[in-house]
Structures are given as C-alpha cells and as structure tokens.
Amino acid sequence: MRPTKAVVKLSALRHNLARVRQYAPQAKVLAIVKADAYGHGLLRLLPGLTDADGLGVLRINEALLLREAGYRRPILLLEGVFSADELHTASAHDISIVVHHQQHIAMLQSCNLAKPLSIFLKMNSGMNRLGFVPGEYEQAYLQLKACPAVAEINLMTHFATADDERGIVQQLQVFERATTNISAPISLANSASIIRYPEAHRDWVRPGIMLYGASPVAGTAASSFGLQPVMCFSSEVIAIQTLQAGQGLGYGQQYIAERETRIAVVACGYADGYPRIAPNGTPIGISGQLNQVLGRVSMDMMFADISNLPEVQVGSEVELWGDLVSVDAVAEAAGTVGYELLCAVAPRVKFEVIE
C-alpha cells in the first residue's frame, strides 16, 4: 500500500476545543466543521467534539449526516437553505439556518413548516459577502419576529480583518449601532476574534481553523496560542538518487545541483493534496529532522536534499506537515493559507484516527 497517509488526533482536537473554552469561558461554542471538517473528515472528528455546544456546516447533507450519526445538539447551516425543499428538511430535522437575504425571509413567510426554525440573522457589517446591510437589519429582524415559521432569532456578523492590525473595531461599531433596539443572543467571533478580541465573544463563538491546530493569525505560530495540530500528513522515502554538480532535478529542472547531492524521492505530490507551487526551501521533516523541499512537486512525488542525513534510507518516514512542520509554515512558503492545504488533502490519501 502506498505510504502517504493522514493521521487525525482526537486528543489534539479536544485540547484545542478546551483552549476555545479558556479564551471564551462564558460563551457557547459552535464548532465549525464545514468542508468535511476542514479536510479532516466530519464523522472521523465527531467523537472529539462532544464538548461543543453545536456544529456549523455548509450543506444540508452534512447536517443530515450528523443527525444520522446520532448528533442531537444544534446544527447551523452557515449559508442557509437554497430551496423550499431544504427549508422543510431543516424543519423536520431540527436544523438551524442562517438568514442573509430577503428571499430567505419570503421563503419562511410562505412555507407551512412542521416545526419553527431557529434562525441566525446575518448582518453585512463590512465583509461585503453575505448579510443584510445595517440600514435593513432591524426591519429584517421584525419580519422574522412576526413569522410563524421562526422560533429563536440569533444575531450574527462576520469580521473581515480580525486576523490583522485593522482588527474588528469598525465592524463591531457598525453592528452595535444597527442592533441598539434589538435584544437577542449574539454570535460574532471567529477563531481570530476568539483569541484577540474578548469583547466579541458574546453568546456564541464560532471557532474554525483553531480547532484543527492551525493559526488564525498570519505570521503567528499556532503553538503560541496553545494549539496542537490535529492532522499529521506523512509519507516515506521511496527512492534515493545522487546528483552530480550541474545535474537538474524533476520537471522543469528547477533545481540544479551545485555539488554532489543526495536526494530523497518522497511518495507524495499534488494529487495527494500537497501544493504544486511549493518552492525550493519549503520545510519538510525527514526522520524527525527539519529539511527542505527541492525542485518542482510532481503529481505523485517530491524531493528533498538528504546529503547531511546519511541515516535516511528507503522507507524513512517523512512528515509533510504535523508536529515538526506546521501546516502554516508549508502554506506560507507556498503563498497560501493552512486552511487551503488541510481542505485539499486528496481522497486517495489513507486516513487514520487515533486518540
């Protein structure tokens, strides 16, 4: 069997969830598990999420999968529903929805549901993605308040710059001005806000990337927030080559040896989810020691210089990211974010779950 695998650690997930509680002890926790739990596997992680107060997903089939698995706590559809059929399904299975445009309200007003729905009413406070603009928000709330298909209403918005120096001040002021006359539970804080802005914690926090042990703040290591990586993505050395000075390596010959160089060929490539654009110098771990990627990542293989690691042989373990090499360090080298790499691990990679 090909050695590329991803090991998911439930103990690390539980640890990170506990860190959320330490940052926001008074708030309920809506753990965000969209995109198949950020590539980790929704049902694989479910046993590690028993201390969460609810789960946030994107698609209704994910919510139904959770209900079929016996999950009975709140589930929130983060983009709401896309049809009246989905609205009826949400009602039948006690699934909460985000309402972010007038068509959602019209749908609720016209549907005769088996059971009223819990709603999270979203404001566009500056992200300019989804939500009612501030001037329309109170009227949307009043419409929902009068709608028989609606049970509890929660207020929410999403911060665009919680992870950088601009922070949340401007959006928070917009939200607070627009909700002066509304009394309802509030959900504002994503991972970066949970860590950096206690004033945004309110009634529900929505941790995402921090649950998986990656950093929500660019340039700051996840470990500095007390987080542990949940996924260890690894493989093995499957061949060793020796380049002479002047010889090139791999497609495009993007690495040319300046001296005799011992090269490890690693069984992982972009078809496994490793970024093809990772340049020379991207960190990699071989036999428990930090090393660097060389040459162009191909579909099934990649390379590293092991000239100074004589103990490395065919079969030596390679960590692509995990405990030694953070996913954020690989992402930074490749010009992307840890979120993308975690979500991109391919179906052909074998997953294992450990405590």
Catalytic residue numbers read: 34, 251
β-strand partners of 30: 54
**Residue 245: both structure tokens together:** 């000075």
In eight-state DSSP terms, residue 235 is E
Angle at 321 between CA 349 and CA 48, to 5 degrees: 70
Helix (H) or strand (E) holding 120: strand 117-123
Interior angle at CA 184, CA 182 and CA 185, nearest 5: 145
Query: For residue 68, what are the β-bridge partners?
Result: none
Whole-Å CA distances, 350 to 1, 276, 286, 302: 10, 20, 20, 18
DSSP 264-305: EEES--GGGT--TTPPTT-EEEETTEEEEEES---SS-EEEE
Q: How many C-beta neighbours within 10 Å does residue 2 have?
A: 14
Closest CA to 116 of 136, 94, 138: 94
3-state secondary structure of 274: coil
The H or E element that residue 327 is part of is helix 327-334
Give me the residues paired with residue 76 across strands.
56, 96
> In this structure, what token pair is assigned to residue 76?
């929130």
Closest CA to 307 of 347, 342, 266, 264: 264
Please report where in the chains the tokens 């294992």 appear, as a residue: 352
